Structure 1
């Protein structure tokens, strides 16, 4: 057992969804104030726009400034790295990702999520090479960012305003990851293993492989759509209580956004955990 209770951050995967307007966001709320509104009700959010394209430093600065002091952002790594390059020859793409403004989050930078597609199998050599490239603190991330290519010229951020550790989490979807060697392998590299709840045959894994736990809740019965019942939220609250009692920080993000369940389920889980 670890000596100190862990902390909890509960949020949603993304926040800018048209169908949330008038359901979660009040009618008439300007789009530019949606993150501000969400951040007064939840303690964290997973930035998912960074998965689809390189963002800009001014975006990250604005997101930092619009949220309360204790708010935390998880950042989803680019699909160019995970889905297109499939983790191969990604030194420059990683530099571009970190140069795109991630460091502007400063003291609000939480874990970086690397979501692998279902077509990438368990390959220790490939993963080890990738993990060796990942910066483990913001100083190292700034050094890596400085190696960006010409696409970031004139719009790169290569300085870290705050020195802090950078945690990394891996979400896997190929069945070959159900392997007894995986937990020890990830522990050896200090990489967190994502526990994913989803209405798909993706691996469901609860091994704790770092000093934090990362949970993604995609919908138990309908992917990205179905809400979590009271009983399911009770069970997740009990799991999270167990992890934090053992001293692990927990980051949990609801990705069931299609029917506007994500923010309400996140608030329901926070209420059960007694977290303000």
Structure 2
């Protein structure tokens, strides 16, 4: 596999601050302040979870932008205050607050926004369409790409797929035995969250499994048309996530910067 063939595939992990990674990913003695700079040169993307729990300031996004390489990309989990509510149609203020918190400071490093819903949140076509209608297409001059992380089995129906297509949002493909998922990632962006890492396997996923994920990622990048692919190793045996991401990137022909 050549690097060129995988140029629109991004592979990463969730966040960059995790104590066990200081034993098996980050160089010994690396200061915590330099962890993002290091991680962003070993991986091609990071899914930011902190934006789900609290509102960031523009200075934070600007700092992340400045500490990472030019070709690095962040995906952002949207605020839980927008998605963890009984009536999604009433999320307008929370959506605006999140989108207006400074995302545009990431510039070209702004990747998809992941809207994660509770596993207990069932599909209500009318309410969910009202939510999708609230999602802005742009923030300043930046085009926004929205990805729905729906976790209730009632979403796995054609009615939801029809709405997602109408509003041009993507849907997360989840590799997990806890959450339901469509057979393939759908939408303008293919977004996979890989959650089945095994703590007894050095690379989290077995070599044959990583071979298969590399092939799937390449297939997703061209079908049904050329599109960006994001593959994030998260949860499961989280301590193995960087090794899994690195092993998959190697299979895709991507090389990290020298430590």
Tell me if TM exceeds 0.5. Answer: yes
Distance 2:54 2:150 in 1: 21
The answer to whether structure 1 residue 181 and structure 2 residue 181 are counterparts is no
Match of 1:252 in 2: 231
Picking from 170, 173, 182, the partner of 1:192 is 170
TM normalised by structure 2 equals 0.88
- Aligned-partner SS, 2:112: strand
Whether contact under 8 Å (1:14, 1:48) holds in the other structure is yes
Picking from 236, 245, 248, the partner of 1:266 is 245
Distance 1:236 1:268 in 2: 11
- Aligned-partner SS, 2:144: coil
Distance 1:211 1:5 in 2: 17
Task: Please report how far the alpha carbon of residue 86 of structure 1 lies from its aligned counterpart in structure 2 after TM superposition.
Answer: 5.4
Whether contact under 8 Å (1:6, 1:244) holds in the other structure is no
Match of 2:191 in 1: 214
Distance 2:252 2:139 in 1: 31
- Aligned-partner SS, 2:221: helix
Match of 1:235 in 2: 212
In structure 2, the CA distance between the partners of 1:88 and 1:195, relative to structure 1 (3 Å rule), is same
Number of residue-to-residue matches in the alignment: 246
- Aligned-partner SS, 1:265: helix
The answer to whether structure 1 residue 171 and structure 2 residue 163 are counterparts is no
Distance 1:85 1:54 in 2: 21
Match of 1:144 in 2: none
Match of 1:44 in 2: 45
- Aligned-partner SS, 1:27: coil
Moved over 6 A (4+): none
Distance 1:164 1:5 in 2: 24
In structure 2, the CA distance between the partners of 1:18 and 1:221, relative to structure 1 (3 Å rule), is closer
In structure 2, the CA distance between the partners of 1:220 and 1:5, relative to structure 1 (3 Å rule), is closer
Whether contact under 8 Å (2:89, 2:128) holds in the other structure is no
Distance 2:9 2:175 in 1: 18
Match of 2:68 in 1: 67
Whether contact under 8 Å (1:19, 1:260) holds in the other structure is yes
Distance 1:198 1:76 in 2: 18
- Aligned-partner SS, 1:17: coil
Distance 1:33 1:262 in 2: 19
The answer to whether structure 1 residue 77 and structure 2 residue 54 are counterparts is no
Q: Give unmatched runs, 5+ long, in structure 2.
A: none
Whether contact under 8 Å (2:55, 2:101) holds in the other structure is yes
Whether contact under 8 Å (2:233, 2:241) holds in the other structure is yes
Whether contact under 8 Å (2:148, 2:172) holds in the other structure is yes
Whether contact under 8 Å (2:6, 2:252) holds in the other structure is no
C-alpha deviations, 1:153-183, integer Å up to 9, x for none?
A: xxxxxxxxxx232100001111111213332
In structure 2, the CA distance between the partners of 1:257 and 1:220, relative to structure 1 (3 Å rule), is closer
**CA RMSD for the aligned pairs?**
2.0
Match of 1:204 in 2: 181
